[in-house]
Structure formats: structure tokens, C-alpha cells
Amino acid sequence: MSGSSEIMSMHDQIVRFSASSSAPEDTTTNSLMAEKEASLVVRLEQELTQAQICNHRLNQQLKVLANSSDKAIKIELANAKKQIKERVNDVEQLKKQVSKLTTERTMWLSKQQPHDVNALLAEKQELRKQLDREQNEKQELFMQINSMIAKLADSGDQDEINRLKSDVNSLKRELEAEKIASNAEAARLKSELQKAKNEIQDSIKDGDSEKDAMEQEIENLQRQLNIKTASLQSLMLAKSDSSKTDKLSEENETLKLKVEDLQKQVSSFMSQMQDKNSEIQKMKDAISVNDVSRQNMDSLSEKLSEMDRTLREEQQQKSQLRSQTETLKNALSTSESTLSMLKDKLAQFEQNALDLKNENAQMKTSTRESILFESGRIKELQQALSDEKDNNAILNVQLREKDGKIDRIQVDLLAAESRAQQAEEDVRDMKERIITSKKDDDSNNLLQDELRRTEEKYQQAQKKIENLDETIKQQETQIRDLGRSLDEAKRQLQKMSEQRQNEEVARQGEDSARSMEEKATKEEIKKLKSQVQLQQQLEQDLELQKKRVQELTEQRKVLESKASVADEFGTLMSSLNSLREENRQYEEETRSLQTNIRTLQDEVYQHQDAITEWKNRAEKAEEYIEKENHRVQNASSSHDADITRLENEKTQMEEALEKADQEKDQAIREASESVRVMKREMTEASITSDRQIQSLKEKVDSLTRELESSRRRMEQLQEDQTKFLGSHDETKAEMMKDLHEAQDEIEKLTNQAGQLKSKNETLTTELEDSQNLCERLKAQYEKADKKYEETKVQLREAEDLADRLQAAQILSGNVESKFSDMQKESKIEMERILDNHNKELEKLREELKKSHTEHTSLESVLEEQQNELAQLQDQLREEKEQSSNLLVLNQKIEKSEKEKERLEEQIRSHTSQNSDTSKTISDLEDKISELLKTNDLLALDVQKLSKSLDSKDQQLKEAEDEKNLMLEEVQALQNATPSDSAEIAELTTENARLAGELLKSHSAAERSLQMEKEKISKQFEERLKTANLEKTRLASELQMADSRKNTLEKQVDELQSQVETAERNRRRDLHQLDMVREELHQVKNDNEKLKSSTPIAPPRSNTRTISNMSAMTNWTQADFSECEDLTRLRTEIDKQKRLIIVLRRKLQGLQQ
């Protein structure tokens, strides 16, 4: 098809060239050239038909080959390609022949024509070539626009748009459903959380109540135990039956079992509390997952909104393209209508010329007949008529030229009026938009100034249009004057006819003999009158032509004084071109103003959006502040309640301590009274024992040996105790150091305040329980001391005392083992703490590495953004260097403003992020302060524990002192002699039983102490682990927040610098715009000055005036038409250039 289009273009060139060649040629050469051209045209048409047939056959063969095998397809395609190549070669040969013929013809014409005509023809050919190029460019641009429109239509068909809209609607529905589901799940999870919290609170309350009840039961049981032990002792002293003692011992064991069961229940209750805490954490994790899903849903909704925006923008672009295509179609239809009108006018002029030729022929025949009768005057009249005909022909040519000029001027005026109307409408729209957008005062002032300028230009254009109207009116008056001159010529002809009639009458009077001839002459005269009537009709036409001749003569006089017709025509065309350029400039300025108004509207909308966003943020911040106030109030109320509860517990503990002190004082008093009783009994026993000394000497010797061994053992025990005390002091110092280190580390911990408070409360309750247990053990110890004191009263033999010493040694060994176990456990706990700290340090390092990687990634992103900005800036610079037009500058300004807005939005987002990070940092600092307070409380608890250890050390010392006293009493008893051996045996048995029971009670107490110690150690370890984890998390969060803050600050600084550079570029562009506008204003002023001044006539060497056109031949008239064709071609070339500029701009807009 490309070959056929090229052939058609060649055919058109041949036809144009044959039409344009109006120079006279020889008949032989013309005939030869015509034959050659005809043969070439026939061959070209044959080739076209054959090419179409080939294309048709190819299409059919392709359809057939779509169903046939691959081999046949390849063969037929090869054949088709060969045929196409052959046809292409034939077409190229024909083109070469045509080009040769054209070159030969041009050479032959240039040889036979004069120099100035050849120059005109060369210029004409060049202009035609230029016009062909412009038309080809126009066609290419139209093809590109059509292809772009087709692409847009293909890419965004209505079906696809509907499908995308349906997809978007379905996605929106799914989003809404997922939002509803997520909200429902969140509400459900919140309700479950609240239920779980309520259940936990209820379980905590129930546990506290159960704990209190169990403690009361334990106290009651202990009281019962004490009572029963006292009753056992009294029964043992009263020597009651062994069956009752067994029952009491069984009851004691059952009570101990109950106590153990209660402790197991307490441990199970604590495990349930831990499980519920883990469930709460899981629920919190689920809520965080729901928050993440909500964020994903929000991101999806934003993407969908972006898709909607893109679809709308594409639809708007399509609508704009359709409107532009419609405008182009309308313009083409208007141009076609104008062309049809011009063709009609040309046809009318041709018909008038034919009528005039026929009339001239009739006049010639009439003149020939009249020559027979009137030779002299008729010849003169014929000469006058021939002269007038020549003048009429010249005038007809001039009139046609003037009519063409008038039509063109009218077309230009209509176009100018339409543009002026459009400009008025644009001005009205601009005024309405300016009235609506009165927010930015500076921009409004600038727009008002530009509007004033445009109004001034519009007034100037109107003045020019009025001047053109006046010139047209003047030409119409000149045409009327020509009509008057033609009427005068008719009157002169009538006078000449009357004179001729008078002469004929005189001849009739003179020549009577010629009456017959006169009759014949009269008949001939009648015929001549009929012919004269016809001539009168012709004369009427001639009168019109004479009027035109007179007008033209007057114009000739004016033009001879000023300049030639061609110069005047050139001035008119230059004025029209200037008007068109001014209209274009006005349109461009209106477009720039429209773009400025659009940018202002966009800025207004952006400001409104920003205001709404800030309002929403303010509302959210107020809601958040209210929530935080409620939370703080609730926390303060709970804190006050905790404080009041702790104070009540403190008062209760102080009361319990006072009661314990009172009981201790009473026990001491009872012990002192029992000692006095023992002393009295000892004095009585000493009196009786003197009698039994002789019988017990042997036993005393054995006892002394045993006492020496026991003394050695006691010395070893004392040495071990001193060593233990020294090591205990060292361990205590190490523990204090470790405690100081732990305090330093605990100061760094950043756990949540509420959890630590609750944990501290549980610790305080457990510590109180441990203190109660210690007090109970103290009471048991005091009771054991009472038992020892009571047995001291009954001890009358040394064996019982030795057994008691052995029991005391066993107790001291157990205490030492307990202290060693405590030391080992403390060391193990310290090692665990160190391991946990090392793990935390490793985690912190890993998190630091992650933060560094994130920082590097953010830096890379920022570098990419900076590179993109640099590329954009380079592109802007290149565009500034390449283009100096106003539209390009406006586009750059719009881009810079958009970039500025984008950067401002980024700055706002970064500032919001900075505010959020600052809020999180403030929250973390509050948490850290609360954790420091809890750390102080823990330090106080540790001090209390150290004080309790010191008190236990004092109790051990007191026990040692009591042991020494016991040894002294044993020595005193050894000196005394027992009275009755039977009583001593009974006492020994009872003493052994009591020792066994004491050992059992001590073992049970030790077991309970170990269990409680293990529980406390486990709880302490768990709390330390949780505290360390929270510390690491908070430290990592603080580091991340600091790193983010630093990165955000850097980004903000960079963005501010970019904004400053963008503002500088924008100001520079605005300055350039102002400079260009000033230059345009100066150029317009210069043009106006030039137009207001009189036109300067060029040199008259190559001018062609009406004076030298009177003796023109057909060749010179053709030469003048060539000049006119040149001007016409130049105007058409200018129009094509403007069209191409408009189409290129549209293509740039479409590509953007």
C-alpha cells in the first residue's frame, strides 16, 4: 500500500506540474509531452490496479493459507514476496522515468522562457516542494495523532473500562466486607480480652480470698499444733498412756499433710495465673496481627483509589482527544465549505468570462456588418470597442484578483472575528475564574495585569479589524465609482448613435435619388437598431466595467504616487500575518493564563485537603489526649488504691510484729521462770544427788569420756561456724556487690509500669508470706527452746543431756547445710543473671545491626530520590537551554510547583513521623521513670531481705550462747548425783521420743522452707527474665527511634535544601518569563509603531503597475499570475507551518 500511495503522489505531482505550466509551447512538443504523460498515467493506473489486485489476492491467499499446511504457506509467501519485489522494481523504474521527463521538461521550459520567468518558476517549484514537505509532515502528524487516538481507544475501550470499574467495585466491596470482618474480629477480640481480664481479676480476687482463707486455716492449724504439742508435753510430763500420744502424733501428721496439700493448691493456682497471663499475651499478639491486617487493607484501599484516579484521568484524556478530533473535523469541514464556496465563485467567474467572450464575438460580427455601411466612424468605434474590450479584459483580470483578495480578506476577517469571540469567551471565563479564586492576592494581581494586557491587545485587534473594514468599504466605493464611469461611457455611446442618425437624415434630404437605397438602409438601420439594443445590453455591462476602469484609474493614480499594487498587497498580507501572529500570541497567553488558573485551583484544592487533614489530625490528637487522660486517671486511681492497700497491709504487718514481740517477751518471761524453777529443783536434786555419787562414778567416767568427745566435736563445730561466718561475710559482701551491680542494671531496665507494679505486689505478698513463715519457724524454734527448758527441769541424768547435745549438733549441721545451699543457689542465680545479660547484649547487637541495615537501606532510598531529583533538574536545564518559548517555561514552572508541593507533603509526613517518634520517646521516658521507681522499691526489698538475714545470724549467735549455757548446766548436773535410776531411764526414753519428734518437725520445716525458697527463686528468675527481655526490647526501640529520628532529620534537611533549590529555580524561571514578556511587549509596540507608520515602497525595478500592464501580452499576464501564485503558496506554507506547530504540541501533550 505504501507503493500505491507513492504512485498516487507522483501522479498528483504530474497533474499539478502539467496544470502549473502555463507558458506557451510548441504544438509538437506539447503533443509529445502530453502523449508521454498520458502513457505514464495509464501505466501508473495499470500498476495501481495490479497492485490492488495483488493485495486482494494476497489477502485471499493468506486466508486460505491460514488453514493449509506450513510448507505450502512458505512456498506461496515466497512467491508473493517475489511478485511484490518485481512490482516494486517496476514502480521504481516508472518513478525514474517520470523524474527524467520532469527534469527534461523543466530544462526545455527554462531554455525557452525569459530570465525573470525562470526565476519565478524556480521559486514556485521550491515553494511547492516546501508545501509538499509541510503537507507530508502534516499527514504524518495526523497519522501519529490517529495512531495515538487508536492506541488510547484500544488501551481504554469501554468494555475494559467497565470491566475495570466492576473489578474496582468488587474490590471495594471485598475491602468493605474485610473491614467489617476485621472490625468485628477486633471487637470480638476486645470483648474476649475484657472477659479474660475480668476473669483474671475475678480469679485474682478469688485467689486472694482463697489465699487469705488458706493462711487463716494454716494459722489455725498451727495453733492447733501448738496446742496439741503443748498437750502432748503436758501428757508426757504427766506420764499419760502411749495410745493418746500416738493419736496426737497421727493427728499432727494429718495436719501436716493438709498443710502440704494447701501449699500444692497455692502452687497450682500460681501456675494457672501464669497460663492466663500467657493467654493475655496471645490475645495481644492477635490484636497486633489485626492491626497489621487493617494497615494492609488501608494500603489496598489507597491503591484502589489510585486506580480510580488513573482511570478517570484516562477518561478525561480520551474526552479531550475526542473534543480535539471534533474540533479538527469541524475545522476541516469549514475549510472544505470555504473551498467549495471559492470553487463556486471561480465557476461563476468562468461563466461570466465565457459570456463576455460570446458577446465580444457577437460585437465583432455586428461591427463587420456595419463596416459595409459606415466605414470611417464605424472603424473608429470598432477601434474604441477593441480598446475598451482590452481594457475590460484587463479590468476583469484585476476584478477577479480583487474579488479573490476580498474573499480572502473576508475569510481572514471571519477567522479573526471567531478568534476574537473565542478570546472574549476566554476572557469571560478567566474573569469568572478569577472572581472564584480570590484567595491568593499576588497571583490575582498578576492575572489581572495579564487580563488588562490581553484586553488592550484585543482592543488593538478590534481597531485593526475596523481598519480592515474601512479599507473594504473604500474598495467598495471605488467599485461604485467604476460603475459610474461605465455609465458615462454608455451615455457617450448613445450620443454617438444620435449623431449618426442625424447624419443619416441629412443624407436622405440631400440624396432624393437614393430613396430606394435609403429604404434599404433604413431596414438595415432597423437591423442595426436591434443590434444596437443588443449592444446597449452589452454597453450596460461595459458601463459597469467602465466604472471599474475609472476606479482602477483613480487607484492607479494613487498607487503611482505611493507604491505598486504588489506592494500594497504585500502590506495587506503582512498586516494580516501580523494580526494572525497577534491572535496566536493572544491564544498562547490565554492558554498560559488558563494553565496558571488551573495551577492556582490545584493549589487551592491542595490547601483545602491539607486543612482537612490537619483538622482530622487535630481531632485524632484530641481523642488520643482524652484517652491518655482517662488512662492516666485510671492509673492514678489504681495507684492510689494500691498505695492505700499497701499501707493497710503495712499497718497489719506492724500490728502482727508487735503481737509477735509481745509473745516473744512472754516466752522469755516464762523461760526465765522455768529456769528459776529448774534452779530450785537442781538445788534440791543436789542434796539428793550427793547420796548417789558413789553409785554413779563409773557412769560419770563414761559420761566424761563422751563429754570430752562431744567437746572436741563442739570445738570443731565452733571452728566450722567461725569459718562459715567468715565465708558468709565474704559471700554477703559479694552479694552486696552483685546487688549493687544488679541495681545498676535494673536502673537500665524499661519494663511497663503496671506489670512491674503487679509483680512487685505479688513479691511483697510472697515476702510477707516468707516473713510469716520465718516468724512461725521462730515460734516453733521458741517452742522447741521451751521444750528444751522444760526437759532441762526434768533432765536428771547426763545421758539425756548428751542426747540433747547431739540433737543440737545435728540442728547446727542442718543450718550449715542450709546456708551452704543458699550460697550455691545464689551463685547459680548470679551465673544465670550474667548469662541472661550476655544474651541481652547479643540481642542488642543484632538489633543494632538490623537498625544499621535499615539505615543503609533508607540512605540508599534517599540517594535514589536525590539522583532522580538531579536527573529532573538536568532535564529541566536541558529543556531550558533547548526551548525559550513561553509554554515550555510555564510547563517547567508547573513541574517545579508540583515538585515543591510533593516535597512539602513529604516534609509534612516526616514532621508527623517525627512527632509520633517524639511521642513514643516521651512515653518510653515515662516508662523508664516508672521503672526506676520500681527499681528503688526492689532495692528496698533486697535491703529488707539482707536485714532478715542479719536477724537470722543474730538468732544463730543466740542459739550458740544458749548452747554454751546448756553445756555449763550439763557440767553442773554431772557434778550432781542422780537419786533414782528408774526415773532416769524413763526420762531418757521420753527424751529420745521428744528428740525424734523434734527431728521430724525440723525436717518438715526445712522441707517447707526449701519449697518456698525454690518457688521464690523461680519467681525471681522469671521476673528477671521478663525484666531483661523488656529492657532489651525498650533499648532496641530507643535505638531504633533515635536512628529513625536522625534519619528523618537528615531527610528533612535534604528536603528543605531541595525545596530551596526548587524555589530558586522557580524564581529564576519566573524572572525569565517576565523578561520574555517584556521583550514580547516591546516587539508588539514596535510592530504597532511600524503599522501606524506609512509603508515604505521598495525599488521599482521589478515592480509591475497598472501603467505598464496596459500593454501586457498573454505571457506577461501569466507572469503576473505566477507572482500571485508565489504569494499564495507562501501563505499556504505559513498556514501549514502553523498547523504543524499545533499538531506537534498536541502530540507532545498526548505523549506526556
pLDDT at 738 over 70: no
Looking at every residue in the chain, the average pLDDT score rounds to 65
Within 13 Å of residue 732, how many CA atoms lie on the same side as its CB? Answer: 15
- DSSP assignment of 303-356, as one string? HHHHHHHHHHHHHHHHHHHHHHHHHHHHHHHHHHHHHHHHHHHHHHHHHHHHHH
Cell of 677: 524453777
Q: How high is the pLDDT of residue 504?
A: 64
pLDDT at 14 over 50: no
Give the amino acid at 715. E
Q: How high is the pLDDT of residue 1120?
A: 47
Q: How high is the pLDDT of residue 1022?
A: 76
Give the amino acid at 327. T
d(CA 776, CA 233): 19
pLDDT per residue over 794-838, tens digit each?
Answer: 655 555 555 555 655 565 556 556 556 665 665 676 667 667 656
Q: How high is the pLDDT of residue 144?
A: 77
Q: How high is the pLDDT of residue 568?
A: 55
Local confidence band at 1074 (pLDDT 50, 70, 90 cut-offs)? confident
pLDDT per residue over 212-252, tens digit each?
Answer: 777 777 777 777 767 766 666 666 665 545 565 566 667 66
Residue 239: left if φ>0, alpha if ψ -120 to 50, beta else—which one? Answer: left
Local confidence band at 163 (pLDDT 50, 70, 90 cut-offs)? confident
Say if CB 1143 and CB 138 are below 8 A apart: yes
* Phi, psi (degrees; rounded to nearest 5) at 1026: -60, -40
Say if CB 790 and CB 674 are below 8 A apart: yes
In three-state secondary structure terms, 68 is coil
d(CA 815, CA 811): 6
Within 13 Å of residue 212, how many CA atoms lie on the same side as its CB? Answer: 6
The contacts of residue 774 (CB under 8 Å, 6+ apart) are 948, 952
Local confidence band at 312 (pLDDT 50, 70, 90 cut-offs)? confident
pLDDT at 1119 over 50: no
Q: How high is the pLDDT of residue 977?
A: 46
Mean pLDDT of 856-883: 63
Say if CB 773 and CB 1012 are below 8 A apart: yes
Mean pLDDT of 157-179: 72
Within 13 Å of residue 631, how many CA atoms lie on the same side as its CB? Answer: 9
Q: Which burial class, exposed, middle or buried, applies to 1020 when counting CB atoms under 10 A from its CB (0-12, 13-18, 19+)?
A: middle
The contacts of residue 472 (CB under 8 Å, 6+ apart) are 406, 409, 410
Local confidence band at 558 (pLDDT 50, 70, 90 cut-offs)? low
Give the amino acid at 729. D
Specify the DSSP class assigned to residue 1095: P
Q: How high is the pLDDT of residue 1105?
A: 41
Report percent pLDDT > 90 for the chain: 0
Q: Which burial class, exposed, middle or buried, applies to 166 when counting CB atoms under 10 A from its CB (0-12, 13-18, 19+)?
A: exposed
d(CA 536, CA 529): 10
Q: How high is the pLDDT of residue 356?
A: 64
Mean pLDDT of 1011-1028: 71
To which residue does cell 515592480 refer? 1103
Mean pLDDT of 1059-1083: 70
Cα–Cα nearest to 1000, from 249, 251, 258: 249
Cα–Cα nearest to 161, from 302, 308, 305, 303: 308
pLDDT per residue over 49-69, tens digit each?
Answer: 666 676 666 666 666 655 554
- DSSP assignment of 440-503, as one string? -HHHHHHHHHHHHHHHHHHHHHHHHHHHHHHHHHHHHHHHHHHHHHHHHHHHHHHHHHHHHHHH
Q: How high is the pLDDT of residue 23?
A: 41
Local confidence band at 1036 (pLDDT 50, 70, 90 cut-offs)? confident
Say if CB 1074 and CB 885 are below 8 A apart: no
Q: How high is the pLDDT of residue 370?
A: 57
Cell of 83: 511478485
Q: How high is the pLDDT of residue 447?
A: 56
Among 722-731, 842-851, 1108-1117, 1125-1134, the least confident range: 1108-1117
Give the helix/strand (H/E) hosting 691.
none
The contacts of residue 308 (CB under 8 Å, 6+ apart) are 168
Cα–Cα nearest to 389, from 357, 366, 367, 365: 357
pLDDT at 1116 over 50: no
pLDDT at 146 over 70: yes
Cell of 890: 510555564
Q: How high is the pLDDT of residue 588?
A: 77
Q: How high is the pLDDT of residue 633?
A: 74
Mean pLDDT of 162-190: 74
CA distances from 63 to 66, 68, 73 (A): 5, 9, 11
Q: How high is the pLDDT of residue 21?
A: 42
Specify the DSSP class assigned to residue 156: T
pLDDT at 201 over 50: yes
pLDDT at 1023 over 50: yes
The contacts of residue 193 (CB under 8 Å, 6+ apart) are 280, 283, 284, 287
d(CA 422, CA 428): 10
pLDDT per residue over 475-520, tens digit each?
Answer: 666 666 666 766 666 666 666 667 666 666 666 666 665 566 566 6
Cell of 234: 503436758
To which residue does cell 546448756 refer? 966
Cα–Cα nearest to 252, from 900, 951, 780, 969: 780
Q: How high is the pLDDT of residue 503?
A: 66
Q: With b meaning 16 or more CB within 10 Å and e meaning fewer, what string describes 630-665?
A: eeeeeeeeeeeeeeeeeeeeeeeeeeeeeeeeeeee
Mean pLDDT of 117-137: 78
Residues written for the chain: 1152
Local confidence band at 169 (pLDDT 50, 70, 90 cut-offs)? confident
Q: How high is the pLDDT of residue 967?
A: 65
Report percent pLDDT > 70 for the chain: 25
To which residue does cell 548428751 refer? 802
d(CA 853, CA 1039): 13
Q: How high is the pLDDT of residue 1115?
A: 40
d(CA 882, CA 863): 28
Q: How high is the pLDDT of residue 1114?
A: 40
Mean pLDDT of 372-394: 61
pLDDT at 440 over 50: yes
Q: How high is the pLDDT of residue 1050?
A: 73
Among 253-262, 451-460, 553-562, the least confident range: 553-562
Cα of first residue to Cα of last residue in the chain, in angstroms, is: 31
Most confident of 23-27, 143-147, 712-716: 143-147
The sign of the dihedral angle between the CA atoms of 809, 812, 818, 822 is: negative
pLDDT at 585 over 70: yes
Q: How high is the pLDDT of residue 703?
A: 62
Mean pLDDT of 369-395: 61
Local confidence band at 616 (pLDDT 50, 70, 90 cut-offs)? confident
Cell of 227: 496446742
Q: How high is the pLDDT of residue 398?
A: 62
d(CA 161, CA 159): 5
Local confidence band at 1100 (pLDDT 50, 70, 90 cut-offs)? very low
Mean pLDDT of 1065-1091: 69
Q: How high is the pLDDT of residue 1064?
A: 76
Specify the DSSP class assigned to residue 790: H
Among 299-313, 520-534, 596-610, 1102-1116, the least confident range: 1102-1116
Radius of gyration of the chain (CA): 63
Mean pLDDT of 416-442: 60
Q: How high is the pLDDT of residue 1078?
A: 73
Q: How high is the pLDDT of residue 25?
A: 42
Local confidence band at 1090 (pLDDT 50, 70, 90 cut-offs)? low
pLDDT at 636 over 60: yes
The secondary structure of the chain in percent helix, strand, coil, rounded to multiples of 5, reads 95, 0, 5
